[in-house]
Amino acid sequence: MSELPEILQSGEPARLIPVVADTSKENRAASILLAGMVAVDQLSQALLGGVGQRLGKRATVRCYTEVVPKLRPEGSRLRPDGLIVVKIGNRTWSALVEAKIGRAQLNPEQIEAYLQLAKVNQIDAVITISNQFAALPTHHPVTVPKSVRRGVELYHWSWMHVLTQATLVGLEGNFASPTQSFVLGEMVRYFDHESVGVFGFDRMNPEWKDLVLKVRSGGTLARTKPEVINSVAAWHQETRDLALIMSRLVGRNVALRLTNKHKIDPALRLKDDSEQLAKTAILNCTLDIPDAAAPLEVSVDLRRRVVTCGMRVEAPKDKKTSRARINWILRQLGGTDASEVFVSAVWPGRSTRSHCGLEEAKADPQLLEAGFSGLQPNAFEVQLVRDLAGKMSGARTFIESVETVVPEFYQQVGQRLQAWVAPPPKIAAIPGVEPEPELEEEPQEPEGPKAYDGSPTNPNTLPDDEPKPEPMGGGIPHWLRRT
């Protein structure tokens, strides 16, 4: 470990307990993360897998801090926060690391300089880490010209992404030794502390309030205006944070659903969503939750000042009457707090949807059938609609409200829904064999969890009968609290 890579003039192996000045928060955070990656294979696999490096048993990861590459522009004082070197058989992959902590923002000129430094030293990539969010590690919160990036890959991790991946690795277990579990737990405990400067996305852009008021007063929006572009960019950061929040709550990787075009080109995603906001005054996103009945759709309507969360499930095709299909969806929502929940039945052809509150549908299921005699619904949509009123225009209150309603909807509705699965085909008859009589099962109403208490992200607020991840290192992680 003491041997330096050939590309370095000087550097130190990453230390779990670095000896740095009290003011060097970024160097300390980078060293602890890189040392954790060396010590815990699963953490390296989780983080580096997102930048295209699949690590098998033969792979080795070495990390260094205070690095000075051999080749530098004359007079340059560039000193990246770290270097990652991965060896897989005869192949070597390397990446410079630049970290920011707290409210510090990544600097485009500095990133360009590191890309040039990587290029002249034949380093494959530059990875930036900050509290800024990106939908994917391949996207970047800072715009850098493609000409500068040519020949070197540029990736980004938010500190919340790092912390979430470390937490999920800890929940999965399967460590090679107790030491790995201890190291990961201490690392998570460190980054969990409020003084370190790791936090989620907690406020919209400065133009947000004026944008909302403009929409409410009937004004028109232009997709090229900074107020629209900056609001969409802020929303993109919030949607990524939402995915991370839900990942920690359910203990599984929750992903943002993006089109292939938007995965490849984040600038196109920004352009398309800005155009949508200008035309419709609506922001939306889709979260893919593993093993959930359907994707979770989130929509923000600035004109109506409401946030809507919804899921759509196909109706059971083995049930031949509309009443049986409607009862199928209502039974799944038996224990749901129905005050803000609505159910829509989607009918075949060009028929409109039937729509009513869940409370009314439970009292009289015929409300969803009215006017559609002889037809059977193809699908059902279940939505929670939250009126934000004045909270919509607040840069902080808007974020707090969204981060409350999304997990609340999933607990009250999403985790209760089950997708219909077609039953296996049956043999009609075998000559000489008496068919066994079919047993009719009485439908059981699912027992749902207790009411969600309104805490936006804290898994310890879930009911006692619900499984909840135990935070490593003891205590409630601060990134699962909203202050």
Instruction: Report pLDDT digits (tens) over 273-324.
Output: 999 999 999 999 999 999 999 999 999 999 999 999 999 999 999 998 999 9
Higher pLDDT, 468 or 90: 90
Structure tokens belonging to residue 5: 């890579």
Q: Give the pLDDT band of residue 438 (cuts 50, 70, 90).
A: low
Asked if residues 251 and 168 have their Cβ atoms less than 8 Å apart, the reply is: yes
- Pairing mode of beta strands 296-301, 125-130: unpaired
Please state the domain extents for the chain: 8-196, 208-423+446-480
| pLDDT higher than 80, residue 19 | yes
Amino acid identity, position 249? L
Q: What is the pLDDT of residue 432?
A: 76
**244: Cα separation from own chain's centroid:** 4
- State pTM to two decimals: 0.84
Confirm if 466 and 449 have CB atoms less than 8 A apart.
yes
Q: Report how far apart the first and last C-alpha atoms of the chain are (Å, whole number).
A: 42
pLDDT digits (tens, 9 = 90+) for 129-148: 999 999 999 999 999 998 88
Dihedral pair phi/psi, residue 130, rounded to 5°: -160, -175
**410-426 mean pLDDT:** 92
pLDDT surpasses 80 at 29: yes
Amino acid in position 382: V
**SS3 sequence of 288-346:** ECCCCCCCEEEEEECCCCEEEEEEEEECCCCCCCHHHHHHHHHHHCCCCCCCCEEEEEE
- pLDDT above 90 for 234: yes
Q: What is the pLDDT of residues 322-362, one digit of tens each?
A: 999 999 999 999 888 878 999 999 998 876 889 999 999 99
